Chain A
């Protein structure tokens, strides 16, 4: 049974292709810029695309994995704010998969170095927490699932401080896989655009420290926002293709609203998964039309920073909390002409947020997994 306790975010940060820090992402997106560009990390000649949103300065197939390099940047100035008794959750799809690549391509290390439990141990040490932690992997909804679990632990009284971490990187392993599924946009992704034709891969690491409101108050923490509700579902339909009826996402959104004690009128804007694939974006818009009687501002960050896979939900939740704070709804970067079903919902311009109420964040992934979070 959930208690009256609130699960609040007291600290968060991210590293994306715009650079280190939430400000870098926020300013980048607000300016309408995209961090997606041609990449030279590996040979892309055989692939559907040669574009992605990668973080400058990371070294590929060297000593440290890409995601560990990101986490070092992330925790450089932040670990002091994380209590050592925090429970730890790591959300990722492929974690240190470049360590497996290194074994196959350079015969250094072992394939098992990519075991996510090894990454979990490293993050635990880097963040300075005692907990051995747990891994959550729910495809591209991994970190929103992790946030839901963290909030649930706090609201059900099974913990009062949870550190949610998330990461994924742009590697040949992942790039070749998405290319084989014909899922990549040739240049930069154009979520909700009439001419969208695929996603752009991106990479990121992020963290959010959640506490019970009582502990946050006791420790005089700055409260950034609250994970007020969550809902999860599965389409039970197809391994890679989104539902043609959107019933899975509709179910997740309705569960999230119920869990937050809100109705559809309580939502001010939607941070959509918005990958830029024809079917994902159409599936989401169908769900939004079904749940919301009136048009709401919708945006996607993936035209700016690409699809950061397991990190997407956390990056997008932090961004939505920033949007609530600044009372600004960011633009959907790369949008030229909104598709018919998204017309009047999405915009390539930033919009002022008239009523600061709650935001809905949706994510969806392979295996038909859907998540919806409500934050305020």
Chain B
């Protein structure tokens, strides 16, 4: 049985963990700055060099792992995979890199910008920091991308390709990641099963509504 053990989310107003029922609103207009010390349990090497989409992805993954009660460190590698989606691949990173290259007279490309022109790079950064040694790839669909990545993650767990999966989506100013695990039927300590999550995600709602929907599942479970 595949279950959702945690959901971490972040947007322009705050962040939270759904299974644990935590929600933090930014004080004033702080945006995403200064969050790395709050959200990562270990120092994130060179976090400042990451592009925006990578930072948001890593924040949401940190929250999803915490929500599922999974400890991590770059040294403790675990067979956990990560699949991520977004609507535009790596378009902004592509523009940043190529604009810089053209402005430099088309002679010198910057490798540190080029790296983020791969849609899978945000997940690669997450894999290094969180020690994720399972399958890592970007996957996206024209509609209901989040539902598709959750479905794919469930399939991978069912076929025992890995022990746990992080699956989610990153937008311009928000990200949400789910932690999925395969459980025996006796375990009841999870937010909902993957089928229930799929039914909610099939309605293709914006992230803030999605957070509300899944938060209501937790409240229902606690009553």
Measured CB to CB, the residues of A under 8 A from B are 1-2, 43, 46, 93-95, 97, 100-101, 104-105, 111-112, 114-117, 120-121, 132-139, 141-142, 145, 149, 152-153, 155-156, 158, 172-173, 176-181, 230-240, 247-248, 251, 255, 259, 365-369
| Tally of A-B Cβ pairs under 8 angstroms | 186
**At the interface, yes or no: B136 with Cβ under 8 Å from chain A?**
yes
Against A, the Cβ 8 Å flags (1 = close, 0 = not) of B117-139 are 11111011101101111111111
Determine which of B77, B111, B118, B142 lies in contact with A93 in the assembled complex, contact meaning CB atoms within 8 Å: B118
B195: chain A residues within 8 A (beta carbon): none
Which residue of the partner chain B has the closest CB to A111?
B95
**At the interface, yes or no: B12 with Cβ under 8 Å from chain A?**
no
Which residue of the partner chain B has the closest CB to A140?
B118
Which residue of the partner chain B has the closest CB to A119?
B89
Q: Are B108 and A180 in contact (CB-based, < 8 A)?
A: yes
A259: chain B residues within 8 A (beta carbon): 159, 161
A139 CA to B98 CA, complexed, in Å: 18
Determine which of B77, B91, B155 lies in contact with A156 in the assembled complex, contact meaning CB atoms within 8 Å: B155
Are A236 and B158 also in contact (CB < 8 A) when A138-B120, A177-B97 are? no
A177 CA to B98 CA, complexed, in Å: 9
Q: Are A133 and B98 in contact (CB-based, < 8 A)?
A: no
Given A135-B119, A173-B97, 18 other A-B residues pairs in contact with their CB atoms under 8 A:
A43-B106, A104-B98, A115-B89, A133-B141, A136-B137, A137-B118, A139-B124, A156-B159, A173-B94, A178-B114, A180-B114, A181-B111, A231-B161, A233-B133, A234-B124, A234-B134, A366-B118, A366-B121
B114: chain A residues within 8 A (beta carbon): 176-178, 180-181
Determine which of B94, B115, B120, B135 lies in contact with A233 in the assembled complex, contact meaning CB atoms within 8 Å: B135
* Max chain B C-beta neighbours (<10 A), residue from A43, A173, A176: A176
Q: Are B88 and A112 in contact (CB-based, < 8 A)?
A: yes
Which residue of the partner chain A has the closest CB to B141?
A134
A120 CA to B143 CA, complexed, in Å: 12
Are A248 and B133 also in contact (CB < 8 A) when A104-B102, A111-B94 are? yes
Shortest Cβ distance from residue B83 to the other chain A in the assembled complex, whole angstroms: 9
**At the interface, yes or no: B99 with Cβ under 8 Å from chain A?**
yes
A132 CA to B144 CA, complexed, in Å: 11
Are A180 and B110 also in contact (CB < 8 A) when A97-B94, A152-B155, A173-B98 are? yes
A151 CA to B8 CA, complexed, in Å: 30
Q: Are B141 and A1 in contact (CB-based, < 8 A)?
A: no
B:127-181 near A, CB below 8 Å: 127-128, 130-143, 148, 152, 155-156, 158-159, 161-162
A247: chain B residues within 8 A (beta carbon): 77, 133
